[in-house]
Amino acid sequence: MIDWLLALPWPERIAVLVSASMLAGVLGGWIGWFRNRMGLGMLLGVLLGPVGWLLLLLLRPAYVPCPECNAAAHPKWARCPVCKCDLQRALKRSAGSAQRAARADWR
Ligand SMILES: [Zn+2]
């Protein structure tokens, strides 16, 4: 693998390394998406490659608390894994409640 890379001329060698780095970033973003850390996953994938993927898997996922039961849940999930409530609806409702509370406080 290394011999094959070193046999290439410089511009192609750089192109192969940049392509591999971008592919690692895309894979890192894909892994990060499941843990709600897509941007960090892409960054770690580009900078560290497979080591970044492992780091990403070791990091705590950036989940949001379920408004109904406070269990950790991905903001894109349809249902809470614990209480099975409609998570999208509950998240929207809680944002609206927060806005109403802020308005009441402002008056
Ligand atoms: Zn819940």
Strand spans (E) along the chain: 64-65, 72-73
d(CA 28, CA 45): 5
Residues linked to residue 64 through DSSP beta bridges, in sequence order: 73
- Lowest pLDDT segment from 7-11, 38-42, 92-96, 101-105: 101-105
Residue range 12-39: mean pLDDT, rounded: 95
Give residue 82 CA to ligand 1 midpoint distance, Å: 5
Whether the per-residue pLDDT at 36 is higher than 90: the answer is: yes
Q: Give the pTM.
A: 0.72
Q: How confident is the model at residue 105, as a pLDDT?
A: 62
Residues, beta carbon < 5 Å, ion ligand 1: 66, 68-69, 71, 80, 82-83
pLDDT digits over 61-98, tens only? 999 999 889 999 999 999 999 999 999 998 888 666 66
Q: How far is the CA of 80 from the centre of ligand 1 (A)?
A: 5
CA of 21 to the centre of ligand 1 (A): 38
pLDDT at 26 over 90: yes
Q: How far is the CA of 50 from the centre of ligand 1 (A)?
A: 33
Residue boundaries of the structural domains of the chain: 1-62, 63-107
Q: Name the CA radius of gyration of the chain, rounded.
A: 21
What's the 94 CA to ligand 1 centre distance in angstroms? 13
